[in-house]
């Protein structure tokens, strides 16, 4: 996803050709442009909230394998591997780029246990959260059932993508 120098408007999004629409919105859902492609035919959207709701509906109604691929497209938190620019900015804002060696080791171990159990990385809307809140959440969530955690991961993706759309388009 290309982050424009200026915010786009909902009107501009509603008038875009499909290729431009997908280019602008394709990264809202981590490495999953199929979500933007899926909502294109639903234009025009009356609000950013309507656009977001339509995108979430596409994600939730996808085939189970595609939902799992969406979950797996998210990076581990505090990874030292390359992540998308949006993920990197979100994680830096939560202080995950400033973990102590002990915190990094703890989060790495918890991420590994979580991924082994659920088959997708721990997903958490980190904006406005502290590294302590993030560590607490993963400690709590690693003990949940697969069904509970998949639902929670989709709720977290909903929060992440709402923030990203509002950053791009405002909260119209």
Tens digits of per-residue pLDDT, 100-139? 888 888 888 999 999 999 999 999 998 888 888 989 999 9
Q: How far is CA 114 from CA 12, 14, 61, in A?
A: 40, 39, 24
Q: Which residues are catalytic?
A: 74
Those residues of the chain that have pLDDT short of 70 are 1-6, 78-95, 172
Residue 78's pLDDT is: 61
Residue 123's alpha-carbon distances to 19, 53, 73, 163, in angstroms, are: 28, 19, 10, 15
What pLDDT score was predicted for residue 47? 96
What's the confidence (pLDDT) of residue 7? 84
Q: Supply 60's token pair.
A: 């939730």
Q: How far apart are CA 7 and CA 72, in angstroms?
A: 29
Distances (CA, A) of 156 to 10, 70, 85, 100: 23, 12, 18, 25
Task: State which fold the 10-169 domain adopts.
Answer: UraD-like (1.10.3330)
Q: What is the pTM of this model?
A: 0.85
- From CA 142, how far away is CA 117, in angstroms rounded? 8
Q: Rounded to whole angstroms, how far apart are CA atoms 67 and 55?
A: 13
């Amino acid at each position: 996803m290309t982050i424009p120098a200026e915010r786009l408007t909902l009107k501009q999004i509603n008038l875009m050709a499909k290729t431009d629409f997908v280019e602008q919105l394709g990264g809202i859902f981590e490495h999953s442009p199929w979500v933007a492609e899926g909502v294109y035919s639903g234009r025009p959207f009356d609000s950013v909230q309507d656009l977001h709701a339509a995108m979430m509906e596409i994600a939730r109604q996808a085939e189970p394998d595609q939902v799992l691929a969406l979950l797996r497209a998210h990076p581990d938190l505090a990874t030292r591997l390359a992540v998308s620019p949006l993920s990197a900015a979100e994680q830096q804002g939560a202080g995950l780029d400033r973990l102590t060696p002990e915190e990094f080791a703890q989060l790495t171990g918890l991420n590994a246990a979580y991924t082994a159990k659920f088959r997708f990385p721990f997903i958490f809307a980190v904006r406005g959260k502290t590294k302590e809140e993030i560590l607490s959440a993963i400690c709590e969530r690693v003990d949940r059932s697969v069904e509970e955690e998949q639902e929670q991961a989709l709720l977290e993706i909903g929060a992440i993508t709402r923030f990203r759309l509002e950053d791009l388009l405002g909260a119209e």
